[in-house]
Each structure stands twice: as C-alpha cells, then as structure tokens.
Amino acid sequence: MALAQRRSQGVAYLFLGPWLLGAIGLTVAPMVVSLYLSFTDYDLFNEPRWVGVDNYAKLFGDDPRYLHSVGVTLRYVAWSVPLKLVLALAVALLLNSLRGKGQAFFRSAFYAPSLLGASVGLALAWRAIFDTWVDTPDHALVTIVLLSAWQFGAPMVIFLAGLQQIPRDLFDAAAVDGAGWWRRLWSITLPMLSPVLFFNLVLETIHAFQAFTQAFVVSGGRGGPADSTLFYTLYLYERGFTEFRMGYASAMAWVLLVAIALITAVLFRTSRYWVFYGDER
C-alpha cells in the first residue's frame, strides 16, 4: 500500500517535472532574484549594491511621478474593467438568444479582436485611427481604455458558456409566473452567472493592472503626451531599462505584485456577499 502510494507519487512528480522545472527556473528563481535586487542599487552592468529599503522609501516619499503612474493605472483599471465586462456580458446575452449557425459565426467574429490580443500591429492601427486623440493628454487614456474594451472576446466566451449552463426550466417557470426580460436577467441570469462574473472580474482586474503593450505602442514608449498614459508598467520599464535603475524597478514590481494580491484578496472577501454557487443555503 505504502509502496504503491509512493510509486504513484513518483509518477505524479515525473509528470509534474517539466512544468516544475519551468516554474522554478523561469518564474520562481527570477522572482527571488528580483526581490533581492529591489533592496539594491543595480544598473544592469555592474554588481548590485545593497541599499536596504531605500528604493521603497523613495517610491512613496520622493517620487511624484511614481504616484502619478499609480493614479493613471487606477483610473485605467476603474474604467476599462467594468466597461469590458459590461460589453462582454451584453454581447454574450445577445449571442445566447441566437440559436444555431448564426451563434457560431458571431461568436468567432466578436472573439477575433481578442485573438489579436496585445499585438503591436493592432495598437499601431489604433494609433493611426485615433491620430489626434492619442496626441492630446485629455484623450490619450480614453483611447487605450477603448482599445482594451474592444477586446472583450475572452470574457465574452466565458460568459456565453456560463449562460448556456443555466437550466432552461428556471426561465420557463419564471415566464409562467409573468416575469419580464429584466426581471429574469436580474433574478435568474445574474445570480446564476455570478461565479463566472466573479472569475472574469478577478482575471480582468489582474490583467488591467499589468497592461503594457497598448500604452507602450500608442504613446511611442513614453507614456505621453505629458505623462497622461504613464502606466505603472511603463514607468517600471523606463526606470529599469532606459534609466538603468533595475533595483528601483524591481521594488516597483514587488509593490505591484503585493497590491494585486491585496486587491484580489479583497475581491474574494466581497464575493461571499454576491457570488452564488448554487450549493449553499
């Protein structure tokens, strides 16, 4: 028994091996190194020099541009995530009411922009379309929010799958009781869909905090005009790779990681009040 168990564990580790190697070599090890670097002054070329918590102190005490980038990023998250989710849900509802071949076609069509994803070409096209908008500080962020919202395909497909899981008889029963479309949406669809909604919300929030490519391309890599699109990641990149302050950039990366973890934890805490898993009383 014990031997058989050990053997099956061995097999499990064997199968895990390739993933484990990758995770340790490409994720865990670099993360540990970057944690160390965040306490150093490191210019990419010479040996890192230990400076204690200086980098972290400077972030919050003596770098207005850093705080500005936090503001830009929060604004971006606050606009792009709800907009994208509402769009995704609306289109999913629409597609769900279509039956047959039409649904497959439109599902692919609406998903297409997301396939292009974080592609540089797409961001360049966006830049060309919104030529003067991206060159004025008051509108530049809006264009990037729109670009992100337009790529609602991934959450949309997940919503659609969730919608198709909702038992038809719930709707039929409600219809018999005289519930209208809004009533059914509010009292059946949304509660039944809430685990999917929660999943999408968490995923999209994490993605939005890490947005980089669109802002980089649309602003020509500078977060401009006048720092209006200076995303957190963009500033991190600038500090690390164009100003050679890799220790500082590492500290920024760790603050971002902790912030995302905290926000995700808060979302999970609130989920008990609005997410309905169907198996609870």
Partner 1 sequence: MLCTVLAAAGCGSKSGGGQAEIRFIWWGNDDRAKVTNEAVKLFESRNPDIKVSTSFQNFQNYFEKLSTEIAGGNAPDVIQMDYRYLNEYAGRNVLLDLTPYVGKEIRTADWNQGFIGSGKLNGKQVAMPLAQNATTIVYDPKLFTAAGVPEPTIGWTWADYKQIAGKIQASTGGKIAGSTDFGGTEDVFETWLRQRGKALYQDGKLGYTKDDLKAFWQLSKDFRDAQATTPAELVTTLNAGAEQTPMGKKLSASEHSYDSLYGGYNTVRPDELKLGPYPSDSKEALGSYRKPSQLISASARTKNKDAAVKLIDFLLNDQEAGKILGANRGLPANLKIREAVAQNLSGANKVIFEYQKSVDAKLGDAPAAPPKGDGTIYKLMQRKHEEVVFGKKTIDQALDEFWRDAEEALK
Going residue by residue from 108 to 137, which x/- string records binding to partner 1, judged by CB under 8 A? ------------------------x--xxx
202 in Cβ contact with 264 (< 8 Å): yes
As a whole number of angstroms, the distance between CA 129 and CA 135 comes to 12
Q: Which two tokens stand for residue 88?
A: 């995704």
Judged by CB under 8 A, the number of residues near partner 1 is 26
- Report if residue 75 touches partner 1, rule: CB under 8 A: no
Should residue 45 be labelled a site residue for partner 1 when binding is judged by CB under 8 A?
A: yes
Give yes or no for a contact between 228 and 13, defined as CB atoms under 8 angstroms apart. Answer: no
Q: Is 68 in the site for partner 1 (CB under 8 A)?
A: no
Give the footprint of partner 1 on residues 192-211 (CB under 8 A).
none
25 touches partner 1 by CB under 8 A: yes
d(CA 261, CA 162): 26
CA–CA distance, 120 with 22 (Å, rounded to integer):
27
In eight-state DSSP terms, residue 117 is T
Instruction: Report the residue count for the chain.
Output: 281
Choose the stretch contacting partner 1; rule: CB under 8 A; options: 90-98, 151-159, 165-173, 240-248.
240-248
Instruction: Output the CA–CA distances (angstroms, integers) from residue 116 to 112, 123, 191, in the order listed.
Output: 7, 10, 32
5 scored as a contact of partner 1 (CB under 8 A): no
Pick the stretch among 38-46, 176-184, 193-201, 266-274 that binds partner 1 (CB under 8 A): 38-46
Whichever of 36 and 150 has its CB closer to partner 1, that residue is 36
Binding site for partner 1 (CB under 8 A): 25, 29-30, 33, 43-46, 64-65, 132, 135-137, 220-222, 224-227, 241-244, 246
